[in-house]
Every structure is written in C-alpha cells, then in structure tokens.
Structure 1
Amino acid sequence: MTRTATALTLSLTIILHAPLALAKTPVATGSGGAVATISEQASQSAMSILNKGGNAIDAAVAAAATLGVTDPFSCGIGGGGFMVIYLAKDKRVITIDHRETAPAAVTPAAFLENGKEIDFEKAVASGAAVGVPGTVRGWHEALERYGTMHFKQVLAPAIDVANKGFKVSGIFSQLTRENERKFQQFATTSALYLRDGKAVKPGTLLRNPDMAKAYREIAARGQRAFYEGPMARAIVDAVQRPPVAAGSSVRGGSMMLADLANYEARIRQPVVSTYRGYELYGMPLPSSGGVTVAEALNILEGYDLKAMPRANAEHLYLEASRLAFADRNAYLADPEYVDAPVAGLLSKQFAAQRRSQIDTKRAAMEVAAGDPYAFQQDPSIPLRPQARPQRALGKESAHTTHFTVSDKDGNVVSYTFTIESWGGSGIVVPGYGFLLNNEMTDFDFSGPRPNVPEAGKRPRSSMAPTIVLRNGKPAFTIGSPGGSTIITTVLQTIVNHVDFGMPMDAAINAPRLSQRNGALTSVEPGFAGSGQSKALEGFGHGWETPPEEIGAANAIVFNPDGTVTAVSEGRRHGVGSALVQKRAH
C-alpha cells in the first residue's frame, strides 16, 4: 500500500536569508559544568539547562533532543543509544542501554529471500529495517533515576530550535544530497528535507514544527506519549505501510503497537578495565565497544609505547586492534541471547596470550579469534562452542553522534546515540517530523552467528561512550560516532593521550587509522603518501581506498587544578562546539 504526497501535510518551512550560525569553539577551559557536541545549538541547550540549576543528566537530554533537530540524519527519538553516567555523590558509574530491539515477529530469516541475503541498500530503506526505538525510554530512565528536571524543562530548548529553525550548514546540505535517492522514495521525507526533489541549500533556515509537536507531546505526557497513543500508532503505521512517494515501493516491517508498549531500557553495570593506572568504564553488551576497547588496551599494556619510535608504537596499536576485532566478531552479541565469554576477553592473562601472537616487525593480514574460554571464570559458560569459520566484517553504519556533559557537582555523562545510517531508514513519521532508524541492518543477515536477528533481540553495536577515572576521580571522557570505527577512534585517542602524552585536542585531531581485522586499514584523506604512512608501510600495512573521514569525537578533561576542558573536533564534521560555564582567564 502507498500513501502519496498529496495526502501529506507539508512539514517544512524554508526561509532564505537565514541569520548567521553561531561561531563554534572546539576547545574551552573553565570551571563549573562543561559540554562538547558537534552542534552549537545542542551545546547551548545543555548549557542553558546547567545555568538553570540542572545537572549533567538533565543537560544531556536537552543536548540530545536538540541534536535530533539539528543533526537528524545521525540521531533522534526514532533510534536508540547508550549512556554512561558517573554519579559524583555515590562515586559510581552506571549505564543505560536503550538500544533498539527487534519486533516480536522477527526471525533469523528477516533479511533472506530464497535462502540468500537481500541487497543491503534495499534492506536499509524499508520498514523491515526499523527496530523498536529506545531513545525516549532511555531519556525517561535517565531523568527519573538520576536527573533533577522533567521532560517539560529539558525539551524546551529543542522545541524552540525546531520552531524557530536553524541554518542549514554545508555538511547538512551535503548529507541530504548524498541521501536524495533514499529520501525521494518517501513522501514525508521529501517534503521535509528536499525542495523539488533536491537537497536544501546551505544558508537555508529549516524549521520542523512537526518535531516540535512530538517533543511537546512528550513534554506533556512523558514517555507514554511516544510508546502509546497517536504517536505510537503513527510509528507502527509508517513501519508497516511506509509513506512512499508515488511510483516507489519498499518493504514493510512487522512492528506492532505491543512492541512499542513493551519496550524496556536496561540499567547495566559498566565494563570496567584498567590501563596504566587509569580505570576505564565503558558500555557493556549489546555494545561491543567497551569490551573491545578494553581488550585492545590490555594487549597494549604489555608494551612501553612511549619509549618506542612512533611508527613501532602505531604498528602495535593496529595489531592489537586487529586481534580484539577478531574476538569481537566471533563472540559478542546481545547478552540476553548469547552467553558471551566477557570475563575471558577482559582477562589480562588472555591479553598476554593474544599479545604473544603479534609480530612486532610485520603486520598480519587477518587473524583468527582467540580462545577466551580458557580464561573464563564464569562457571555458567564452561565450554568453548564449535569454532565458526571467519567471515568478512559486515557493513555497519558510520553515522551516529556522541557528546559529553559534566556539571559543577562532578556528575558526568558520556552519551552515544543513533538512527544507524545517514537518515536511518529514510522514513519520516507522518505528523511528527522524526526519522526512523534502520537498526535491524546491524544484525548479521545470515548465520550461524551470535548476531543474527531474533525477536526482541538488540543488535550488536560498536558504540563506546567511555568515562575514565584516576585515583577514584574523573580524569577524562571520550567517545565518537563511526560504526565499527568508533572502537578504534576511542582506542587511538586514549593511546594518543595516555601513552604519547598528547593534550586531548591534539589526541582527537590526529590522523585516524582504523584496523578491524582486515587486509587493509581505513585511513583519512591526506594520510596516504605522508611520512607517517610510509613508515607504517615498512611494517607491511596497506590502506583502504577511497579514504574517508573517521569519527567525530567529543571529550572532557578534568584537570589537576580543578578546571575542566571541553574538547570537540577541530576540523572534522564542520568543527565541534565546546562550552564551559565559567571560562578560565
């Protein structure tokens, strides 16, 4: 069934000659609260909540809601995510898993036709790609348990931005242009983000009154406004019968109202590891980020990286990442469906065994998974399953957002959330102005694998929001978007900062290398042919083409003198936005 554009309400007001965008500052040092995001409006929203007495959790929801307006192609209430929170009063870290789940009618054959995997791009742009969104439930849990404000207060800045509009940046216009074909398939999306079938131009003021309406309903009724009632019905209708443009046809999905009503976020214990005197708190399964970063750092801890020539140290970083990814791909998935050997993977003894397989002078091409079961202390997982054949790393979207917030009392939030691909499934929910995710395509399309689709299951993620303590106090936070390159971005930034002694802004701005157990390593534009690349080529490393920008990290550093430094990207994704409550003079 189709629904044509004539039956839709135009959700977009476009006004030319928009006001100039606020100037972004990617690094800021001072006292009180701090925030680092890729969006000036989102950073301002967080800061406004902090200035009104809200804590870091309140400010994080305000920033996230605003990012859903200004960066709707990477995040929003149509998706899900992972939040890591340091509670200063209790001196403990908790995590909120609000990853999307597979609808109850989903089976492992969801993306198979006649026994063969369907085309990936066709799978993305469909109702079948949409997982049950978890973001609003995650925000609810964060505010109810750890915040001081309610939805009405923290959503107000985002409602204002959605109503008044924001100036379309060059990156926003470019991302729209790259997704024109996907967006053209859906009448609601075309009406919102295209003009005569083409991307809106930089400098345009883009308003989204329908998203403001969605936020107002959540502000008035709380998370129930999203998971029950008219908005829930609109979501389910859009998934089952996507609002396609005339002449388009896409697969519908199986989501039901009960899937939304039954959605639950999970409060989970963080992955805890140590590295050179630091305590790292990361996201547990179903995100593979925390475990994989920790394993790679455990491997690297056996080397004195700072005493080595840089090329030797970077070679070891790439090889440690290769080994950790081999183990990630073999074992990690939703812990409610798979008994993953997490304790074994986090074992320092297992890391030593894996380290012994590294040739310090030569790059491996691809490596097999290790055997963490010999180091597994959990008696509930006593046996190693039958070895699985190695398979190429599946596609995983690089399009997500990460930001971080702290407050004057020392509470800290490191938060990564997403709608998966740029623009998610491409489906804008009629009347509510937000894009639905395509998170179901984060599952492996065929098995046997731990990460195949199953009813109620959460697809494996690479998101790695991280909070690092030293001597029991926050030292820094780090996280990034980038699909599976999230793990390597977080890992490399930690190595840059801790081992190489780089200030956090330099650690973030350094060229990124991402080795994920492939014959070639992902690099950024301008790296190939550099002195750094030639030195690593001497170890046998080679580079993927074409090169692409990797990640868009945000961090906060808690300085020894009691000040804080918020750090965002200095050049990637159009430069980030770092703010502190009181600037240092």
Structure 2
Amino acid sequence: MNTLSRRWLLLVLLWSPVAWSAAPAQGSLASHPDGAAIASGHHLATEAGMEILTKGGNAFDAAVAVSSTLAVVEPISSGLGGGGFFLLHDAATGKDVMLDARETAPQAANEAAFLDSKGELDRDRSVNGPWSAGIPGLPAALVELSGKHGKLPLRTSLGPAIRIATEGFPVYARMAKGYASRREVMERYPGTREVYLRNGKPIAEGDVFRQPELAATLTRLADQGFDGFYRGQTGKALLAGVKQAGGSWSAEELAGYRVKLREPIVFNYRDWKITTASPPSSGGIALAAMLQILEGWDLKSMDEAHRTHLVVEAMRRAYRDRTFFLGDPDFVQIPQKVLTSKDYAQGLRATIHPEKATPSDLLSGNPTPLEDDETTHFSIIDRDGNRVGATQTVNLLYGSGLIPKGTGVLLNNEMDDFALKPGTPNAFGVMGYAANAPKPGKRMLSSMTPTFMESPDKVVVLGTPGGSRIITMVLLGILGYDDGLTAQQVAALPRYHHQWLPDEISAETGALSVDTIKQLQAMGHKIDLPGDSAEGGRGSSHVWGNLQTVEWDRRSNVLSGGSDPRNPVGSAAVSAAASR
C-alpha cells in the first residue's frame, strides 16, 4: 500500500456511505461544512482530490486533480483528448456558472465527410480514428479552473496525475475488457500500440499500466498552461498524429480552442432549487421539462407501476423536444424560455393519459423521423461550501482509439454526437436534425448533466455517465433525494429509461418488479429487458451508469457521499476540516 493510500485509509470508504458531522447549534443552519466530500469513479482520483485539499486547495483545485487523475486512470471513459462540463458554485459570491469544455468540430468537418459512396452514414469514420475526433476541451478547462477559480499553482494540482501516470496503477477488469472489445481499432495506430501493447501483448487485468508520454504531456500543461497543450511540442505532435492517420486538423483551430462560460439552467421542483447544465448539454432543459411535468402529481403516494408510467411519459416528451430543438446555442436559436417554462410543462402534462402509454409517433407535429457508459462524473463540496459537479468524456469506449505518437493523449470520437446524417441514429440510438448538424467550430449536443440541488436545509451535487441515459439517471436521482433517500441509496437506485425513439422502456435487471412490468405492458408500454431477466427481452445492458454524489445536511452539518456500487473502483470520501 502506498503512502497516499495509507493516509486516506480511514477516510475513504469504497462504494458505501461516508459521513462527517460537526453539528451546529440546535435549530440553526450551518454556514459552511466542517470538512469536505468527494465522490468519483476511481479511488485514486478521489484520493488525489483529497490530497490537494490538504495542501490548502479549494474545490476547484481539487477538481483539477480529480479530473486529470481520471484522465490517467480511466482512459476508457475520459482523458485530455476529450471534453466535459464543469458546474461550479462559488460560496463567497453565491454565483453558479457552467464551464463548457465540450469539443468543437474541426474546419474540415461537414455532413458530406461522413457519408459513404451510397450516401449512407459511414459508421467506421464517425466513431473510429481521426475523423471521429473533435478538438479537445479538457486541458483548457483545467487551465481555466486553476487560473480563474483555484488557490494553488496548476503544477501542484496536476501533481497527482503526473505521479500516477509515471508510476503506474493496476489495470482493472473493465479497462482490460474494454480494450479487448476495441482492440482491432486501437491497434490500427502506431501511437496507440506503443501505449497499450507490452511485448506485443495487450494490457491485462492486474498489470501495472505506466504512461510516461502522457506524464510528459501533463507536465508541459502544468508548466506552460494552455500553450503547453494547444501549441508547442504537444500541439505539433497532435497535428502530426491526426494527419498521419488520415485526418485534417489545423494549427489555427487547435490553438483557437476556448472554453465557454455558460449560465446554468435554474428552476424549482417542489422545495428544491435545481441548477444544472445548459446547452450544448441537453440535460438541463430536459430535466426542467420532466420534473415540472411530474410536479403535477403526488408520486410518493403512487404504486410502482403508475409512478413509472408517469415518469416514462415525462421522459418521452422531453426527449422528443431534445431531438428537434437542441444544439450549440452559438449556432442555433433554442426556444429555451419556452422549453423550461412551467406553462409549457403543464401543457405537456395535459397530453399524458394516467392509464395509457402515448405512442411516440403521435407526439410530433411533423412526420416521425427516422451515448454508452464510457463517460465519468465527480462531485465535490469543500469546507467553504464551494462545489463542483463535473462530467467528462471521450464518448465511446477508448474514444476514437487514436493516440498521436509522442503525446499519450487518446482522442475522443465525439463527432458521432452530431447529427451527421439527419434522422439517422447515432451510437446511442438518439437522433437529431439541423439544430445539431456539424459545422466548423460548433459544439456537438451532449447529454452530460452535472447538477446541484438545494433545499432549505440541504445541498447536493450529483451526476453520472451513461450516454443518452445520463439525463434520466439524474432525474431518478433527484426523485430519490426528494423521497428522502441517503446519498448512497441514491447512487444505488435501480434505473429505467425512455428516449422517445425507439418507443420502448429499457430497464436494468431487477429495476421493475414482474407485476409492474405486466401492468406497464397492459397500459401499452413496450419494455426492453436484459436478456437474462425472467421476462426475457432483446438484451439491454444489465447495469447502467456510475452515479457519484455528495450531500451536505446544513441542519446537522453532516457531509456524506455516495459512489455507485456498480463500479467497484469508485469511491466517496469525507474529511474533517483543518482548523479555520
């Protein structure tokens, strides 16, 4: 066991609830937590964040450490070659902002570039290799977080990630299995083979995985900031690697990448203030629609079948609007005020029959037109009350599979999140039209939904990976907190999902009882169940997502964390505050 692991052994509790309490005077509310809480998809990332807090950093410094460490230890899910959304709360000012580090389309990208000779979507080009990759945003986000919001030098906050990339970490089962499933693509590229093959053999569970080239890239980022990635040695190597693999990036567009500051979506659900991701994420608008539709019913008093029916019908309507209206707000006009209004939600609620499913093709005023778990999320609250909810990704398993030689940077395959051919589903089965068509410099639509919840006496940060299912998992998490569940109970909640098309409910193994399934089917719902369930089905995934959440109870001043039990390497940690 290394020194860092020993230091936090008593503080880190893997995939189980953790808490720290220093209660305020009876009847009052704590003004700040007496400690900090972090939940992430890998225990090394959680430990890295805690390490930075002990060095005097705040939640934003810790976010740099957690994010960059996840980029090292979860290449299957995220990395410097990808992007994400960072939802930030500054306790001193009370302000919330969303840092948009979504990837952007290269200048050469257009719909025609992704069609084959028959005019059909070239699926290999859209998800594999250089054409599938957008210009990365995560490194710029780390620089922004540290420089504009942090207290420590970027070099300090990136220290744990550099150390782990240099010294290595044990390969875990999901990482090895993911590589096996993507091996044919990843081994097309010399730079990827150099990182993932050892004496001609691929990584295996238990191997110590070292990434000296990635450590060097992180060191240049630490020492030179933005220019250390987007220009100079790293920038030149990225451009050369993309070109060698047959792609087309320019030095101008790489160096021209910028993070964007977005105003979050804010709305109320019962006694909760919800602050969540704004476009180019579709999550916040969809959450506002779904929760404000559901606010018209007393869900807590309902049996499982009728509650599930109404939640599914709200999902169906929100995803229909996602398909037609949402995209990059810098390129398309989004009717956000309408889509997030209570009046609009009330109108949608009126179209829901309490006992019957609505066929999806009846919802559209137009003719009915014809994301995976490979993402990661972390949640942080520090002792001053600053908080970060961040969801980051490279899209599918190991992104594009392409590592430009000399960088250690695995590039994303986020171009598939555009509507590359209008009306044709992407890898997650979701569709889009003109609002989400690719254009140079445009940011592709996303489902990533980092979210804050605030009630009169509680503060919550939550989020999850899961492709197109992210939004509905966050929805179920919000409903779980509203039901009074603990952070760990919320992280473990069973999950179900509907995304308008295909017109079916998908569900985890055991998420719905046999009786509920029968009642839903009698209402007219089609249900796609995991292949090994008692009811059969065409085989949706057995488990979804990797929800990470932290909660601060201001009445008792208890901090707690919940880490998804579906992920055996995730962790939540809570620390006592240093003396103030």
Q: Same fold (TM over 0.5)?
A: yes
CA shift, 1:55, in A, is 0.3
Q: CA deviation at 1:256?
A: 0.7
- Deviation digits for residues 385-420 of structure 1, max 9, x if unmatched? xx654334xxx3441101111110000000001111
Identify which of 558, 561, 582 aligns with 2:556: 561
Distance in structure 1 (CA, Å) of the matches to 2:74 and 2:576: 27
Mapping for residues 345-494 of structure 1, pairs under 5 Å: 345-367=339-361, 388-392=366-370, 396-447=371-422, 448-471=433-456, 475-494=459-478
AA of the residue aligned to 1:476: V
Where do residues 126-275 of structure 1 align in structure 2 (5 Å cutoff)?
A: 126-195=129-198, 199-242=202-245, 252-275=246-269
Distance 1:216 1:368, change over 3 A: farther
CA 575–167 in structure 1, closer or farther in 2 if over 3 Å, else same? closer
Paired residues of 1:43 and 1:578 also in contact (CA < 8 A): yes
Q: 1:193 to 1:369 in 2, by over 3 A?
A: farther
| Matches of 1:582 and 1:531, distance apart in 2 | 46
1:510 corresponds in structure 2 to 493
Give the counterpart letter for 1:453 in structure 2.
P
Distance in 2 (alpha carbons) for counterparts of 1:131 and 1:55: 31
2 CA distance for matches of 1:501 and 1:360?
A: 25
Residue in 1 aligned with 2:29?
A: none
- Aligned to 1:50, the other structure's residue is in SS state helix
> Does 2:15 correspond to 1:40?
no
CA apart distance, 1:487: 0.5
Q: d(CA) in 2 for partners of 1:43 and 1:197?
A: 33
Which residue number in structure 2 is paired with residue 82 of structure 1?
85
Does structure 1 residue 524 correspond to structure 2 residue 508?
yes
Alpha-carbon distance, 1:195 to partner: 4.3
Return the match for 1:501 from 484, 490, 515. 484
**CA shift at 1:122, angstroms?**
3.8
The one-letter code matched in structure 1 to 2:412 is N
2:524 partner letter? G
Provide the rounded CA distance (Å) in 2 between the counterparts of 1:450 and 1:403: 29
Asked whether the equivalents of residues 115 and 122 of structure 2 are also in contact (C-alpha less than 8 Å), the reply is no
Per-residue CA shift, 1:183-217, capped at 9, x if unaligned? 12222222322346654221111111111111111
Residue 157 of structure 1: CA displacement? 0.5
CA distance in 1, matches of 2:317, 2:475: 13
Task: Quote the residue 1:299 is aligned against.
Answer: 293
In structure 2, list runs of 5 or more residues that go unmatched: 21-33, 423-432, 529-537
Q: Give 2:540's aligned residue.
A: 547
Q: Distance in 1 between matches of 2:54 and 2:518?
A: 49
- Structure 2 letter corresponding to 1:511: P
More divergent stretch after superposition (171-180 vs 412-421): 171-180
| CA distance, structure 1, for counterparts of residue 363 and residue 436 of structure 2 | 16
Q: Percent identity?
A: 35
Whole-Å Cα distance in 2 between the matches of residues 528 and 241 of structure 1?
50
Cα distance between partner residues in 1 of 2:418 and 2:391: 19
Give the letter aligned to residue 290 of structure 1: G
- Shift, 1:531, TM fit: 4.4
Which of 279, 293, 312 is residue 285 of structure 1 equivalent to? 279
Mapped to 2, the partners of 1:169 and 1:236 lie a distance apart of 31
The CA deviation at 1:119 is 2.9
Aligned to 2:16: 26
Q: How many residues are treated as equivalent by the alignment?
A: 534
Could you tell me which residue of structure 1 aligns to residue 430 of structure 2? none
Q: CA deviation at 1:53?
A: 1.0
User: Kindly tell me: are residues 547 and 397 of structure 1, through their superposed partners in 2, closer, same or farther at Cα, counting changes over 3 Å?
Assistant: closer
- Structure 2 residue matching 1:484: 3-state secondary structure: helix
Distance 1:494 1:486 in 2: 12
Q: Secondary structure at the match of 1:172?
A: helix
**Structure 1 letter corresponding to 2:18:** A
Across the aligned residues of Structure 1 and Structure 2, the Cα RMSD in angstroms comes to 2.1
Amino acid corresponding to residue 526 of structure 2 in structure 1: G
Give the Å deviation of 1:577: 0.2
The Cα offsets for residues 229-257 of structure 1, whole Å up to 9 and x where unpaired, read as: 11111111222222xxxxxxxxx222111
Distance of aligned partners of 1:468 and 1:238 in 2 relative to their CA distance in 1, 3 Å threshold: same
Q: Output the CA distance in 2 between the equivalents of 1:115 and 1:579.
A: 53
What is the CA-CA distance between 1:143 and the residue it aligns to?
Answer: 1.6
Measure the CA separation in 2 of the matches of 1:41 and 1:422.
20
Paired with 1:196 and 1:161, the residues of 2 have a C-alpha distance of 22
